[in-house]
Structure 1
Amino acid sequence: MTPLVLFLLVSFIEVEPIWRLEGETRFAPKPQEMQQNPRYPWEEEETTPFKRITKEHFRCKGNALNPPHIVEQNGEVVYHYDCGGVGKHSLPIRDGKEFIYPLLLDLLNHVQESFGKKVIITSGHRCLDHNTFVDASYRNHTSKHTIGAEAAFYVQGMEEEPLQVIQCLMEYFPKSPFQRYEKGDVDVSTLPWYNREIYIKLYKPHEGRNIDHRHPYPYISLQIRYDTHLNERVLFVWDQAVKGYHRY
């Protein structure tokens, strides 16, 4: 369309004014009210500046780029290879969903909220390959890391005060008294603590060092014995450890 034709068309357009009373409306809109964005369920109970600990913090720390761990067993040299990590397998599966024992999550969040300091999980779930790569000893074959019922951790800012953290864990169970585990089949110099629900070990700076624990601090191993959410005793089951997660 040429400018001349457009000018001629516009010249013949008549615009009539709209007549109405001041404030007159055909449809009265509802008054708008400000609303807050809804919060996700895991945000409802946040009482610290840190994110709540969820099952996502328990992903296996395996890495296929790690060189093989070479050990001697029964006079033979054995090579243990690490897994591919989070890209190669899931967390333990229960009822069709990824799963970590809920009492374990509650306890770690309790520590975080009690001290207002961040819990650093150095070892959460371990698939069988990573579990063997970390520690090929016979004792470790039945580790509850493999079924999502154990965590190793320390508290940032309280690295040299693990006994305070252990006391905090024990105070979570005011009606369930603790005892000391006095048998000699442990890999720590400090007698572990246990009650009906949990088992606690304290690793000193020279104990329990492996690829998951390459820091210089003492750390705590927390193991679930009875989950109060599920009302069930937690035992290592070989089939659960071997077949209880998805491979990709």
Structure 2
Amino acid sequence: MTLYIIQSTGEMTECTNKEVALASSNVLVVISHNQKKIYTWIGSQSSPHSKFACARETARLRMELGYKIVNLEESSTNNEFLEAIDEAINAPSGGSATKPKPKPITATKKAPVKKETSKAKPKTATKKAPVKKETSKPKPKEKKETEPTQYETKAVKTKIIDVEHIFKQLEVLPPMEGSIRDYILVGDSLFIAPENIEKSDSESKVQLPDGSFVADDYVPRLFLENGKIIAVELWRQN
């Protein structure tokens, strides 16, 4: 049986008559296994003691069954609640308000796992840094002032080039056929050929700016003496 009337003393009485159960002075607890619900029905003329006992018992049943609780007043009676009453009355006699509890499954005890305890590392003695003994530093040796070495200076003899003498030697040489001599290079100076100078007292040395000069139109002729180049003639083809 799953239809109970809660007495003012807190006792739960089974009821098999629908009309008797729905009296306004009663407080009902109906368990519907089909709907998985626990109904509480409060009559309009029920006592406060019955209401308090109903709240206590429904809390206990919810813990046992795990069903949802639905609270109803007499004025809010609905068809689902009436179907739950019919289910409770038509239940086989000798039924109980609660389902038999399943036997608790005993968990097999696992062998305790030994936890590896970290062994404390032996303390290593800290080595003290060796104390450096102060040693007296040797005094730096005084440098003796040395007199600067004197070197003998030798006079460099500069060879004076006799340009006129070279010109006279070049006059003996035969001229190049079909060419005119314009310049003569002696040492590091360039001179105009004597036959191209109108006045004998005119300056024959040519002042050239720094840079490079290409003598495409000239043919050089070298004059050597004792294996050394004395002069270079620049001949222009006529």
Same fold, TM-score > 0.5, yes or no:
no
Say which one has the larger Rg. 2
Q: Normalized against structure 1, the TM-score is what?
A: 0.18
Q: Normalized against structure 2, the TM-score is what?
A: 0.19
